[in-house]
């Protein structure tokens, strides 16, 4: 029985959710291509530019991108070479690790990245129309799905609350030991600068 068989989906909400997520992934693909075609950029090049625009320097390396996007270093390097040819990116010496180079956007690259960074805004409007409780339930469900996929080795480790050493689930909700305060669902982070990964995730 396949999740993608319409007859199998009839009474299985979980099947319909998976199919809905697959449709959303297609929407992202379309949005990436629409943004990139005018600039001659591929979806992965767009992802790299946006990542480099918003993330701290220590994450902006070939290995950092490979981990973030579950790619091999060689695949990352090929995409970066194209960005360098377009004068959107520069490689600079890394004072913290002489074996690697830091990746830095040029002024042109920064301008292009800012232009691209709003590609998914069209998805925000329908979510703002949901009730707070509906958004909270959706967010928590997506967090749980991401954690499961990380535990199964499908996706690379994420810098999110549920797999952070500072995070604690309590009877009343969520708690962060770093800032020592309870967290509302909307305060949970999926990409946290202060994230400290747990040593081991139990399946």
pLDDT band (50, 70, 90) for residue 1 = confident
54 has a pLDDT exceeding 50:
yes
82 has a pLDDT exceeding 70:
yes
3-state secondary structure the chain: CCCCCHHHHCCCHHHHHHHHHHHHHHHHHHHHHHHHHCCCCCHHHHHHHHHHHHCCHHHCCHHHHHHHHCCCHHHHHHHHHHHHHCCCEEEEECCCCCCCEEEEECHHHHHHHHHHCCCCHHHHHHHHCCCHHHHHHHHHHHHHHHHHHHHCCCCCCCCCHHHECCEEEECCEEEECCCCEEECHHHCCCCCCCCCECCCCCC
pLDDT band (50, 70, 90) for residue 202 = very low
In the CATH hierarchy, which fold is given to the domain comprising 31-121? Arc Repressor Mutant, subunit A (1.10.10)
Closest CA to 22 of 49, 47, 2, 38: 2
Residues 113, 48: Cα–Cα separation, whole Å:
9
Spell out the domain ranges in the chain.
Answer: 31-121, 131-187
Residues 95, 102: Cα–Cα separation, whole Å:
9
Relative to beta strand 181-183, strand 167-170 is: unpaired
pTM above 0.75, yes or no: yes
Closest CA to 173 of 163, 190, 188: 188
Residues 106, 124: Cα–Cα separation, whole Å:
29
Mean pLDDT of the chain: 91
Q: Is 103 exposed, middle or buried (0-12, 13-18, 19+ CB in 10 A)?
A: buried
pLDDT band (50, 70, 90) for residue 89 = very high
């Amino acid at each position: 029985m396949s999740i993608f068989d319409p007859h199998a989906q009839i009474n299985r909400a979980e099947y319909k959710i998976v199919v809905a997520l697959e449709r959303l992934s297609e929407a992202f693909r379309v949005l990436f291509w629409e943004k990139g075609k005018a600039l001659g950029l591929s979806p992965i090049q767009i992802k790299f530019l946006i990542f480099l625009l918003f993330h701290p320097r220590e994450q902006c390396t070939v290995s950092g991108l490979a981990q973030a996007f579950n790619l091999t270093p060689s695949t990352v390097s090929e995409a970066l070479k194209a960005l360098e040819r377009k004068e959107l990116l520069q490689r600079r010496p890394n004072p913290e690790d002489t074996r690697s180079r830091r990746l830095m956007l040029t002024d042109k690259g920064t301008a292009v990245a800012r232009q691209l960074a709003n590609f998914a805004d069209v998805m925000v409007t329908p979510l703002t129309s949901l009730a707070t409780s509906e958004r909270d339930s959706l967010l928590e469900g997506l967090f749980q799905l991401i954690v499961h996929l990380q535990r199964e080795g499908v996706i690379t480790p994420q810098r999110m609350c549920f797999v952070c050493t500072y995070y604690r689930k309590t009877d009343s909700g969520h708690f962060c030991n770093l800032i020592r305060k309870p967290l509302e669902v909307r305060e949970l982070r999926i990409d946290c600068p202060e994230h400290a990964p747990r040593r081991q995730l139990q399946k």
